[in-house]
Amino acid sequence: MWVPVKHKSSGGRRPKRKVYHRVHELDKVMDFQKKPALILQLKSIIQSQKHQSLLLRDLEKEVGFVQKWNFMAAIEKYPSIFYVGGGNRTPPFVTLAEKAKKVAREEAEAKDLMEPILVKNLRKLLMLSVDCRVPLENIEFIESELGLPNDFKTSLLPKYPEIFSVKEVSGKLYLHLENWDSSIAVTAREEQLGGEGISAPSGLGNKVRISKDGNFLGPHAFRMSFPAGFRPNTSYLDQLERWQKMDFPSPYLNARRFDIADPKARKRVVAVLHELLSLTMQKRMTSSQLDAFHSEYFLPSKLLLCLIKHPGIFYITNKGARSTVFLKEAYDGLNLINKCPLLLFNDKFVALSGRREMNSCNAMHSP
């Protein structure tokens, strides 16, 4: 998704082209996820079988003819994870190697640790919406990003009838919020500022100047991370300073109350996008996934332009099958800074392949 933004020209001069600076580390994240995704998908396929093993002849039925060869290559390349048995009169099959089976048993504990995180994040997702409800198909569209199990409709939602319900509205199933919880109507940005001791205006806002990297110490500021090669001039920094100082309504207040033409309401939209990405496991979503929530969160019609206008907060990469939007502050180079229990388990399992973990120093953290 490459979108050059042209400035209007004057005096007959050729319009200048605004360069969208690439962040190569985040581009590489998309490349580096391919092998782990393949390993984890094959693990799930094997575990879903009745006897925890898959006949190789049935692999094509599970993944298709083209992808079958990628999985066959992975089976051959990682004998420490996948064991191939059979022969003579027994058709060849693949199962998890003994060491992989041992590590795989730890997944149940990781999922138990994930459940309260998932319930909280799903609740917050509904609280962000204008009617405290979201089409169920939209939740299914981002279930992997949230870390929800494939069967969350039957395994998770019925356990919390006091929080969630599924109701039909105009022929479409919606996930409804049954109870509002003011204690969690706090954004990840606010929690981070609170952890840094910045929870309310100190009266020094006018004395503190913005740094050249765009960061500003204040209760209404967003953490910035400009791409390499991005050189903001004084005028840009002055505008950014005014924007960083400007207060704005909470994303958890109903969007219908605000006029999108109001600069504070537009800043609130940035906060909504920031919070949406913060609720995902890897702090990223495809642009189509974000756009799927357009109606529920009153997102701008020109969503892409909104993201591009804030290169210190968001990054859009074309790597992978679809364009992906990253929350930049969540990454340190290639590494996701805080990982939830499920991602930590995935890292441990994939490490059996000999792949060096990209973020081995992380402590267990909820998203």
**Residue 159: per-residue pLDDT:** 97
Counting every residue, how long is the chain? 367
**Residue 48: per-residue pLDDT:** 94
Mean pLDDT of the chain: 88
Asked if the model's pLDDT at residue 365 lies above 80, the reply is no
**Residue 232: per-residue pLDDT:** 84
What would the CATH number be for the domain defined by 31-104?
Answer: 1.10.10
Taking the alpha carbons of 337, 342, 343, 344 in that order, is the dihedral positive or negative? Answer: positive
pLDDT (tens digit per residue) in 344-358: 999 999 999 986 554
Residue 158 is given by DSSP the state G
| Of 209 and 338, the one with more pLDDT | 338
The residue with tokens 């600069």 is: 263
Residue range(s) occupied by CATH 3.30.420 in the chain: 107-181
| Of 153 and 364, the one with more pLDDT | 153
Instruction: Give start and end residues of each alpha helix (H) in 279-318.
Output: 287-291, 294-297, 303-308
Q: Whole-angstrom Cα distance, residue 260 to residue 158?
A: 37
**Residue 17: per-residue pLDDT:** 57
Asked if the model's pLDDT at residue 162 lies above 70, the reply is yes
Task: Give which of 284, 321, 326 is closest to 142, Cα–Cα.
Answer: 284
pLDDT (tens digit per residue) in 179-204: 999 999 999 999 988 876 665 554 44
- Percent of the chain at pLDDT > 70 equals 87
Query: CB within 8 A of 121, min separation 6: which ones?
Result: 146, 279, 367
Taking the alpha carbons of 146, 152, 155, 161 in that order, is the dihedral positive or negative? Answer: positive
Segment 293-315 mean pLDDT: 93
**Residue 91: per-residue pLDDT:** 93
Asked if the model's pLDDT at residue 16 lies above 80, the reply is no
**Residue 345: per-residue pLDDT:** 98
Which two three-digit tokens encode residue 161?
Answer: 């009838």
Residue 9: band (very low, low, confident or very high) from pLDDT cuts 50, 70, 90: very low
**Residue 272: per-residue pLDDT:** 97
**Residue 283: per-residue pLDDT:** 98
Which two three-digit tokens encode residue 319?
Answer: 């790597």
Asked if the model's pLDDT at residue 22 lies above 70, the reply is yes
Residue 280 is given by DSSP the state S
Segment 65-82 mean pLDDT: 95
Asked if the model's pLDDT at residue 279 lies above 90, the reply is yes
**Residue 207: per-residue pLDDT:** 53
| Of 318 and 102, the one with more pLDDT | 102
Task: Give which of 185, 183, 118, 190 is closest to 157, Cα–Cα.
Answer: 118
> pTM score, two decimals?
0.87
Q: Left if phi > 0, otherwise alpha if psi is -120 to 50, otherwise beta: which for 102?
A: alpha
Asked if the model's pLDDT at residue 10 lies above 90, the reply is no
Segment 337-342 mean pLDDT: 97
Which two three-digit tokens encode residue 332?
Answer: 């340190």
**Is residue 328 within 8 Å of residue 23, measured between CB atoms?**
yes
Residue 150 is given by DSSP the state T
Taking the alpha carbons of 304, 306, 311, 314 in that order, is the dihedral positive or negative? Answer: negative
Q: Whole-angstrom Cα distance, residue 147 to residue 150?
A: 9
Segment 115-141 mean pLDDT: 97
Residue range(s) occupied by CATH 1.10.10 in the chain: 31-104
User: 107-181, what's its fold?
Assistant: Nucleotidyltransferase; domain 5 (3.30.420)
